[in-house]
Structure 1
Amino acid sequence: MKWQVDDAGWCDAATVVASPNCDARPDGAEISLLVVHNISLPAGRFGGDDVLRLFTNRVDPQAAPGYDVLARLRVSAHFFIRRDGTVMQFVPTTARAWHAGASSWRGRPGCNDVSIGIELEGSDLVPYEDIQYDALIRLAEALAVRHPVRELVGHCDIAPLRKTDPGPHFHWQRIHAALPQLKADPLAA
């Protein structure tokens, strides 16, 4: 069964964990970009709930080194795909999530205005799971039906001086083969 995103911006295949870290997109902003990230908290550790806590402002500053800084951040993504392929949604796609930070694509700054952020549970140091790619592809297909999405890029493409994710283990060829209509040419940016 194909996944669907409703008019309000919620995916039927995702478990909703609402984040307060979002706001309205600017008037006239057209959602044209999917941005793939990676995240693990603590770094390199998978399966816990610390990412959910980060996106919902409930990080325990004493839980791990560096968490005192994370506890002060106000960030989110639209989606989080766990290592087992489970999809969680924090922000409706119709709203602006706070995932890209200082960013630019094709000369347009502020990628949060026109993008949907998808976090993969992972790091730059390990390969992703096949089931994560399957979920990402199904999600991207559903998003492209609901919104005028034209490209799928990495965080590294929109913030190359400060970000490396989704990292060297991300199989772009697999994504481009499955979603040729969303293939971006970073050199054209």
Structure 2
Amino acid sequence: MSGFDGWLPQARRYDSPYCDARPGPTPDDITLLVIHNVSLPAGSFGGPHVSDLFTGRIDYNADPSFADLRGLKVSSHFFIRRDGRIIQYVSANARAWHAGLSSFRGRDKCNDFSIGIELEGSDFVAFEAAQYTALAALTIALQQHYPLTDVQGHEHIAPGRKTDPGPLFDWECYQNLLKKQAMLVAASAELGFPVGLP
């Protein structure tokens, strides 16, 4: 981890102001990946609005539903488009504001020790094969720099408050791709997944 600034070269970079320093002195405490889904407007893909939201540039008049977003300061470390392209908004060494009120294994404030990955999607539309491939590759890349031990959905760390990545996220596909890609690069694919998954 020495000398790594948290920005992955394979991702397109758009800096977000919605981040701050993690409470720990080093990235050694970054042990959790959190998977989300997002689309703006809800169910619409391909537009600029997610990036605009995460970078504080959203036009609240672009869609009537955006009025509810006024004053919202939110970001994620990564966003994976439907075609598998990856955008990064916050250095993984820093704290992105993605998880909100959350808890994992008795520890609150998951933003402090997690990396957030948003998939362009919704609870009601299946994700694309390219997104799973990109997510697995991104996970392996992050494992080269951080002591990740677990991956959870936003719904698992904020139950009753959040539902993403939702019922159409294929955890088994993600796990299988992760194992295959890990074998190709001689990396470890060992991560704890949500309880009840195969």
Normalised by the shorter chain, which TM-score bucket?
A: over 0.9
Q: Deviations over 1:142-173 (max 9, x none)?
A: 10110000111100000011111001111101
Give the corresponding residue for 2:148: 149
Q: Does 1:181 align with 2:190?
A: yes
CA shift for structure 1 position 68: 2.0
**Are the aligned partners of 2:156 and 2:194 in contact in 1 as well (CA < 8 Å)?**
no
Q: Deviations over 1:91-138 (max 9, x none)?
A: 000000000000000010000000000000000001000000000000
For the residue of structure 1 that corresponds to 2:175, the secondary structure is helix
Runs of 4+ in 1 over 4 A off after TM superposition: none
Q: Any unmatched runs of 5+ in structure 1?
A: 1-5
Separation in 2, partners of 1:69, 1:124: 19
Q: What is the aligned counterpart of 2:14 among 14, 17, 20?
A: 17
CA shift for structure 1 position 183: 3.0
Separation in 2, partners of 1:117, 1:171: 18
Q: How many residues align?
A: 182
CA shift for structure 1 position 74: 0.5
**Are the aligned partners of 1:24 and 1:95 in contact in 2 as well (CA < 8 Å)?**
yes
**Are the aligned partners of 1:58 and 1:71 in contact in 2 as well (CA < 8 Å)?**
no
**What is the letter of the counterpart of residue 193 of structure 2?**
A
Separation in 2, partners of 1:32, 1:15: 24
Q: Mean alpha-carbon deviation: is it higher for 23-32 or for 52-61?
A: 23-32
For the residue of structure 2 that corresponds to 1:119, the secondary structure is strand
Identity of aligned residues (%): 53
CA shift for structure 1 position 87: 0.2
**Are the aligned partners of 1:157 and 1:186 in contact in 2 as well (CA < 8 Å)?**
no
**Are the aligned partners of 1:59 and 1:70 in contact in 2 as well (CA < 8 Å)?**
no
Q: Does 1:7 align with 2:16?
A: no
- Length-normalised TM-score, structure 2: 0.88
For the residue of structure 2 that corresponds to 1:139, the secondary structure is helix
**What is the letter of the counterpart of residue 17 of structure 1?**
Y
